[in-house]
Amino acid sequence: MNSERYPAYHCIDFRIDRRFIFDTKNLVIFFDIVNIYNRVNIWSSNYNDYDTRDRVLKYKTLPVGGVSIEFWILINNLLYLKMKFMKNFKLQSDRIIIGVLYLLMFAGGLWHVLGVFQTLMRFLAAPLLIVLSILVFGVTYKNISDKRTRNFLLLWAMFVIIGSFFIEWLGVKTDRIFGQYVYGETLKPILFEVPIAIGFAWLCMLLTSASVVQRILLRFSDFNMLVQGISISLLMVLFDIIMEPAAVKLGYWIWLSESIPIQNFFAWFVVSLLFALIGLRIGSFKQKLPTIVFHAYFAQLIYFVMVILK
């Protein structure tokens, strides 16, 4: 059993071809020489009834030439269908997410107007804010194809979250940045008198404001970086003007002055401009931000407007 083995097998084949590529097919002209140095190689053995065997040899030197046609219609159609399916799937999933986002914000505003589920709403306020920020950042991060830009975006997002938290802490401690205010008990958990969710809120508002500006300023990337940054900051201030009275009603924070100080909006503009310019400098907004990010801006505004109108 297994007492014999085939002799060593070796040969050299040579082939040259010329390929002509068309839209739906390729034309290939080829010339092939099999077993150039005419090596005698055993391919297999056939055993007969008399306990003998016949050796089956592989080709000796064999020149072959010809023409072949490769049809790509089916492959191209399959690739096209796959791309179309993925595009439609992404479009449909984006529409579902956008619809759910508007539905949740509208439902939250309606519940506040009707005065129902208030305990639940206060409990979910900070977690939902963090989840929304992660969603906005996640789709933005995924939308960027360049790995280096994605890494810069991640670093920028961490800088915004930590930096804005520090600025808010400094503002609460000194009353010199935004004015005199303290945070309420709604946005728990709270660390050093500042809700953890606040840093995420800044990130979310910066990304959504940038997305709106990209669609307002046609050829956004052609504008000067300072113009881009100022535009984003103005959208941030507009958002804050609508949010401030609603946030007070919701117990997010409490102003110790009789009215919301102008200093607050000026500080919002300056801080937003700083973060926006850094983001623009590292290329975070070169690529058009996803549609979900754009709609997140207005979905939140709808919620705050409904709270104000109660």
- 234-282 pLDDT, tens digit each: 999 999 999 999 999 999 999 998 889 999 999 999 999 999 999 999 8
pLDDT of 269: 96
Evaluate if residue 301 carries a pLDDT over 60: yes
- The mean pLDDT of the chain is 86
| 12-21, 95-104, 288-297: least confident range | 12-21
**Cβ density class 191-228: b for 16+ within 10 Å, e for less:** eeebbbbbbbbbbbbbbbbbbbbbeeeeebeeeeeeeb
Evaluate if residue 52 carries a pLDDT over 90: no
Q: Which residue has the higher pLDDT, 43 or 234?
A: 234
169 and 246 in contact (C-beta within 8 Å)? no
Extract the tokens encoding 111. Answer: 């519940």
Evaluate if residue 7 carries a pLDDT over 80: no
pLDDT of 296: 95
What's 209's DSSP letter? H
pLDDT of 71: 67
Q: What is the pTM of this model?
A: 0.72
- pLDDT band of residue 24 (cuts 50, 70, 90) is low
Evaluate if residue 58 carries a pLDDT over 80: no
- pLDDT band of residue 119 (cuts 50, 70, 90) is confident
60 and 36 in contact (C-beta within 8 Å)? no
**Cβ density class 85-115: b for 16+ within 10 Å, e for less:** eeeeeeeeeeeebbeebbeebeebbeebeee
- d(CA 184, CA 122) in angstroms, rounded, equals 11
Evaluate if residue 82 carries a pLDDT over 80: no
Count the residues in the chain. 310
| % of the chain exceeding 70 in pLDDT | 89
Q: Residue ranges of the domains in the chain?
A: 14-71, 94-308
- Other beta carbons within 10 Å of 145: 8
- pLDDT band of residue 200 (cuts 50, 70, 90) is very high
- d(CA 120, CA 112) in angstroms, rounded, equals 11
Evaluate if residue 145 carries a pLDDT over 90: no
- Burial of residue 164 (number of CB atoms within 10 Å: 0-12, 13-18, 19+): buried
- d(CA 61, CA 184) in angstroms, rounded, equals 90
- Other beta carbons within 10 Å of 20: 10
- Burial of residue 15 (number of CB atoms within 10 Å: 0-12, 13-18, 19+): exposed
Instruction: Determine the residue type at 244.
Output: E
Average pLDDT over residues 20-43: 79
